[in-house]
Structure 1
Amino acid sequence: MPVELTPSQALGLWHTVSLEQVRIDSRDLTLRQMAILLQIYLVPPPHTVRGLAAALDVTKPVITRALDTMGALGLVDRSRDERDRRNVIIKRTLEGALYLEKFGDLIINQGRKL
């Protein structure tokens, strides 16, 4: 059953979830980094820098900078494609999966309070 929210309720939910995420987790992802992370975890692989750039309509250097940060945080991993060394394959990590699972739980819990 779809949940119906007014724009104000939707923004309030986003606000509450964002505030709580900042309070409970020191990793400070930008909106772009979160969009990339969700693309990697919610869309079936394989994922490449080129493919992510196309999906988000940004340049490859933008994706690379975001992946540098997310890689340092343990949320994603990168490796060269053995079949085509020009491609960089982006892989999910356990840490990234746990991060998004907790984030999803936070959204659910805050949504129930509406």
Structure 2
Amino acid sequence: MTVNLRPSQALSLWHKVSLSEVRDSAPDLTMRQAAILLTIYLDPPPHTVRGLAAHLGVTKPVITRALDTMGTMKLVTRHRDPRDRRNVVIARTVEGALYLERLADVIIARARELPT
């Protein structure tokens, strides 16, 4: 699939999606939290704090803080790896999947509004 957008169209799409999110009652994620959540849902599991930090080029405390917030929102869960108790495994949730499905629907709807 090829998408050809001019920079102004790409920014307009991002703006429209952002406005939809601001106006909605869904959880308000930072860019960092959204990147982490998308990585968890789009890349095959398992996901660990250490692995996410390395993949995203941030520190483990950055991942931990984001996961704390997203865990409170029920977008992800965490548990210790029973095989290696030093690792924390991050798991997907139904709420997180529904959040991203809704976000994808918003992106598609706003993209269809762009002038051709």
Separation in structure 2 between the aligned mates of residue 67 and residue 10 of structure 1, nearest angstrom: 29
What root-mean-square deviation, in Å, do the aligned CA atoms of Structure 1 and Structure 2 show?
0.7
How far apart, in 1, do the equivalents of 2:49 and 2:33 lie? Answer: 13
Give the aligned partner of residue 24 of structure 1.
24
Which residues of structure 2 form unaligned runs of 5+? none
Shift of 1:26: 4.2
Question: Does residue 1:54 correspond to 2:54, yes or no?
Answer: yes
Give ranges in structure 1 of 5+ residues lacking alignment. none
User: Counterpart of 1:91 in 2: which secondary structure?
Assistant: strand
Rounded Cα–Cα distance in structure 2 between residues aligned with 1:98 and 1:18? 18
Distance 2:12 2:93 in 1: 31
Tell me which residue corresponds to 1:94. 94
Residue 37 of structure 1 is matched in structure 2 by 37
Which amino acid in the other structure matches residue 92 of structure 2? Answer: R
TM-score normalised to structure 1 length: 0.98
**1:24 Cα deviation from its structure 2 partner:** 1.1
Report how many residues are paired.
114
Once the 2 structures are TM-superposed, how far is the Cα of residue 28 of structure 1 from its aligned partner? 1.4
Aligned match of 1:65: 65
1:113 partner letter: E
Partner SS, residue 33 of structure 1? helix
Identity %: 70
Distance in 2, matches of 1:24 and 1:90, equals 26
